[in-house]
Amino acid sequence: PVAPNGCPVSPQAAGFDPFDRPYQLDPAEALRWSREQEPVFYSPRLGYWVVSRYADIKAIFRDNLTFSPSIALEKITPSSDEALAVLERYDYGMHRTLVNEDEPAHMARRRELLDAFTPEVLEAHAPMVRQLVREKLDAIIDRGRADLVAEMFWEVPLTVALHFLGVPEEDMEQLRRFSVAHTLNTWGRPSPEQQVEVAEGVGKFWQYSGQVLRKMQSQPRGHGWMYDMIEKNRQKPDVVTDSYLHSMMMAIIVAAHETTALATANAFRQLLSRPAVWAELCDNPELIPAAAEECLRHSGSVVAWRRIATRDAEVGGVTIPEGGRILMVTASGNHDPAHFENPDELDIYRDNAVDHLTFGYGSHQCMGKNLGRMEMRIFLEEFTRRLPQLELEEQEFTFLPNTSFRGPEALWVRWDPAQNPERRDP
């Protein structure tokens, strides 16, 4: 096979498929060959240019005029006709939000919406996060065994996200199902039969988002980032547009919780599989923020992000033609030895862990990163204090098959309740 720039496709590039087991289990490991031999390659199966080295990914993120984010939420697997018909029935119209908006519209909008992310405003959410984690922990602490994903890792971040947005907390189970449908729809490869089911979920999510939005618009202004957006939409409808409001309402519910839920599960898995590191955190909780950051580098919850070339452009010595779709495997960049020493090691003392690409980079870098970090920190603080004897059970991890959002679907842990510090020393 030949790539769109006329160059031959190597056998490894031809064989690459992000929906195969190796990438699903460990995307950084699955692209080791690429980092070492062919850091920019065309994948005929995906129809994307794959970029795996840290410096190349950062260069793409840095230049968002040449490498537009407009395809960031595009369906990576095109819809079947049946699925399209379903979406049409729901009047589905997901369009630009922040993450997939080009300049200059993006910056004008982002600037209007920064108030909710000041350190003081974020810190004001901390007691609520801690309270939620404590209640969830109270419910299981005498049990001795639990799947932390099912018990709290998705529900707490979802509750925090809705609170942060000002969206009423209704039907959490349904919202979780919607989020899974959205992830599969955007980054998955559903079979033709699954496509219809996924489209139903996405269509319902779109309708639901519209209903919630209209309800919020009809009420006096409450607290939360969605209310900030509604207000800006009234004041500056050309900057914070109507279409933006509805699309954002749907996208942000997912962006604000699924990412954090998966990141927390990844972090607990990595730390508990290294009992000495876990013990060190229990003895020295001041190490927790650095440990969380290192987990975001080593096993982030967003592992790949997309751009499209707006002109012929060179990346790592390869010319990507205008219109070329690009998959930056940020998880691979985070394991690039040219930037991180012993990259496969989880080192909570690493001094440049914060350079990781899990939150993206440049003008679109994650706005909610400090909220996500805070939630991870609080989870770790509560568990290291209240269940230092926690152990990871032997288990097979499974992942929702997709290119970009990654974390185990379940995380089984066990502990001896008789050893709980609060029982020994109430």
Among 46, 99, 287, 400, binds ligand HEM (CB under 6 A): 99
- Give yes or no for residue 302 binding ligand HEM (CB under 6 A): yes
Q: How is 269-300 classified by DSSP, letter by letter? A: HHHHTSHHHHHHHHH-GGGHHHHHHHHHHHT-
Judged by CB under 6 A, which stretch of 9-17, 267-275, 276-284, 300-308 contacts ligand HEM? 300-308
CA atoms of 207 and 205, how far apart (whole Å): 5
Q: Applying CB under 6 A, which of residues 219, 365, 395, 398 lies at the interface with ligand HEM?
A: 365
Q: How many Å apart are CA 251 and CA 204, to the nearest integer?
A: 13
Among 53, 364, 377, 406, binds ligand HEM (CB under 6 A): 364
Stretch in the footprint of ligand HEM (CB under 6 A) among 40-48, 130-138, 309-317, 365-373: 365-373
What is the residue type of 182?
H
Two tokens at 26?
């460990």
Assess 224 for contact with ligand HEM (CB under 6 A).
no
Angle (CA) 13-30-320 rounded to 5° is 40
Query: Which of 52, 358, 384, 403 forms a contact with ligand HEM (CB under 6 A)?
Result: 358
Determine if 185 is a binding residue for ligand HEM (CB under 6 A): no
Number of residues that bind ligand HEM (CB under 6 A): 27
Listed in order, strand segments (DSSP E) in 298-379 are: 305-309, 313-315, 318-320, 325-328
The widest CA-to-CA distance across the chain, in whole angstroms, is 71
- Tell me the DSSP string of 185-196: HHHB---HHHHH
Shortest approach of ligand HEM to residue 194 CB, angstroms? Answer: 25
Residue ranges in 27-86 that form contacts with ligand HEM under rule CB under 6 A: 61, 69
Establish if 240 lies at the interface with ligand HEM (CB under 6 A). Answer: no
What residues from 244 to 283 belong to the interface with ligand HEM (CB under 6 A)?
255-256, 259-260, 263
Which H or E run contains 43? strand 40-43
Do residues 317 and 40 make contact, with C-beta atoms less than 8 angstroms apart?
A: yes
CA–CA separation, 93 and 85 (whole Å) = 13
Task: Give SS3 for 318.
Answer: strand
Residue 359 Cβ vs ligand HEM, minimum distance, rounded to whole Å: 5
Among the listed residues 188, 368, 407, 408, the single contact to ligand HEM using CB under 6 A: 368
Report the interface residues with ligand HEM, using CB under 6 A: 61, 69, 98-99, 110, 164, 255-256, 259-260, 263, 300-302, 305, 358-362, 364-368, 371-372
